[in-house]
Homo-oligomer: A and B are copies of this chain.
Amino acid sequence: MRSSTPKPLHRLAGRPMVAHLIDACAEAGFGRAVVVAGPEPAFAPMRAVVAPHPCVVQHDRLGTAHATLAAAEALAATRGEAMVLYGDVPLVRPATMRALAARRRETGAGLALLAFRPADPAQYGRVILGEDGFVTRIVEWRDADAAERAVGLCNAGLFCAPAADLLRWLRQVGNANAKGEYYLTDIVAIARAEGARVTPAEAPAEEVLGINSRAELAAAEAVVQRRLRAAAMDAGATLVAPETVFLSWDTRLGADVTVHPNVVFGPGVTVEDGAEIRAFSHLEACRVGPGATIGPFARLRPGAEIGAGAHVGNFVELKNATLGEGAKANHLAYLGDATIGAGANIGAGTITCNYDGVAKHRTTIGDGVFVGSNATLVAPVRLGDGSFIAAGSTITADVAPDAMAFGRARQTDKPNRASAFRARCKEKG
C-alpha cells in the first residue's frame, strides 16, 4: 500500500474497513469479536475503532495461525462457534458468514472453510474435494500438480468451527516450513487427522477480495458503493445517476428522496422523505427535513439541521446551524453556529462571523427575519422575529423584533470621474 496507515484502518464508505467486518459479524449473529493488531504505533487507533470489542496484540509476525492464537484467551472462553476473518478482506457479507456456519452444522463437519472461484485462479491455494464433497486437502499453487492446478475452487482462508476445537487445532500447527511460519491453513490437515470432516462453503469472489494495494482499495470501495446505492434505491430513493453518488455506510435516505448526479455523503447523514439533493452537493453529519431542497453546490457540515421545506442553494455552507421550516438561504452564504427561524430569508453573501480569532459565538435569527444581501452578522448577536437587516450592513448589536437595522455608509458619487481615474491608473501602471 505504500502507506503509514495499517491496511485494516484504511476507509471504505467513510469508515475503517475492519469496522465493516465487525458489523457484518454482529449482523450474522456472532456476539463478540476479538481483533488482532500489529504491535506498531500505527495500530494505536485500532482500539477505538473496534471498541467495545477488544483488541489483542500479535507482538511477532509469525504467520496467520500465530496471529489467531493471539486471541487464545477469548477462544478458550467461548462455548459456541468461532470464525476467523481478516481485517484486509472486509467485504464478506453477513449472509455468507451465516451460510459458512450453517454449512458446517448441516453437513456434520468439524470445520468449514470459505472457498471461491476467481475469474483467474492464478496462484491461490486450491481446495481439493473428495468424492463425498468434503475437503481432502488445500494445496498451495507451487506444490500443486497440473490436475490440481486445473481445479477452479480456491481457498479464501476464512474458517468456522467450534471455538474449543479451533483452539486445539491452532495449538498443533507447527512451523516446519520454508519461512518458519505458523500457517492457519494447516488446521485443515490437523482437523482431518482427528477424524473431523472439513466442508467448503462457496462465496462470490467479490466478497473475498483481499486488499493489498490502493487499486484494490478502490475496487473494494466500488463494491461497497454499489451495495449501498442498490439498497438506497430499493428503499425508494431515486438516484438519477447512481454511479456518481457516494454514500457512507450509515447514510439514510427516505422515500421519494431524489439525489441528482455528483453528490457526496459523508458519515452521519439523514435525508427525510421527499427531499431533493441537487447536483454537486456535499453533506456530512447533518439532517435534511422532509421536502427540503439542497443545492446544487451546497455544503452541509456537521450539525446542520434543515427544516421541512427549507431551501439551501448554491455556494452556501451550514455548520452547526439550524435552518427553520420553510426558511431560505439560496446563494453564497456562510451560516455557522447559528439558529435561523421558520420562514426567514437569508440574502446572498450573508456571513455569520462566528469566530473572533479565539472563541466561537452564536447567531440567533428569529422567525420571518429578512437578512439583506452581503450582511455581516457579528456574533454573538440576536435578530428578533420579523426584523429586517438592510443589504450591505454589518450588524454588531442585537436587533429588536420588527426593527429595521442599517449598518452601512451612505452613497456618495463623483460625477465624470471614472474616465479620469482610469487614465490615472494607466499612467501609474
Hey, which bits of chain A sit against chain B, CB under 8 A? 1-5, 10, 213-215, 217-218, 221-222, 225, 230, 233-244, 246, 255-256, 260-262, 264, 278-280, 282, 296-297, 299, 313-315, 317, 331-334, 336, 345, 347-349, 351-353, 355-359, 370, 372-374, 376, 378, 386-388, 391-397, 399-400, 402-419, 421-422, 425-426, 428-429
Q: B residues within 8 A CB of A348? A: 317, 334, 336, 351, 353
CB atoms of A373 and B388 under 8 A apart: no
Q: B residues within 8 A CB of A426? A: 358
Task: Knowing A234-B213, A255-B2, A428-B359 are in contact, say whether A419-B402 is a contact too (CB < 8 A).
Answer: yes
Cβ 8 A contact of A234, one of B215, B221, B315, B387 = B215
- 8 smallest beta-carbon distances between A and B, as pairs: A392-B394, A2-B236, A359-B429, A214-B233, A376-B392, A388-B418, A358-B425, A407-B411
CB atoms of A403 and B414 under 8 A apart: yes
Cβ 8 A contact of A394, one of B3, B217, B411 = B411
Q: B residues within 8 A CB of A391? A: 351, 353, 376, 378, 394
CB atoms of A357 and B425 under 8 A apart: yes
CB atoms of B415 and A406 under 8 A apart: no
CB atoms of A299 and B299 under 8 A apart: no
Cβ 8 A contact of A416, one of B4, B217, B225, B402 = B402
Q: B residues within 8 A CB of A393? A: 392, 409, 411
Q: B residues within 8 A CB of A417? A: 388, 402-404
Task: Knowing A246-B261, A299-B296 are in contact, say whether A403-B422 is a contact too (CB < 8 A).
Answer: no
CB atoms of B394 and A405 under 8 A apart: no
Cβ 8 A contact of A217, one of B238, B246, B347 = B238
Q: B residues within 8 A CB of A242? A: 215, 218
Q: B residues within 8 A CB of A412? A: 405-407
CB atoms of B376 and A349 under 8 A apart: yes
A314–B283 alpha-carbon span in the complex (Å)? 12
Cβ 8 A contact of A388, one of B282, B357, B372, B388 = B357
Cβ 8 A contact of A239, one of B214, B256, B378, B414 = B214
Q: How far is the CB of A423 from chain B (nearest CB, A)?
A: 9
CB atoms of A413 and B399 under 8 A apart: yes
CB atoms of B404 and A370 under 8 A apart: no
CB atoms of A282 and B282 under 8 A apart: no
CB atoms of A416 and B403 under 8 A apart: yes
Q: B residues within 8 A CB of A376? A: 349, 372-374, 391-392, 408
CB atoms of B296 and A419 under 8 A apart: no
A79–B385 alpha-carbon span in the complex (Å)? 67
Task: Knowing A221-B240, A425-B356 are in contact, say whether A415-B403 is a contact too (CB < 8 A).
Answer: yes
Q: B residues within 8 A CB of A374? A: 349, 351, 353, 374, 376, 394
CB atoms of A255 and B407 under 8 A apart: no
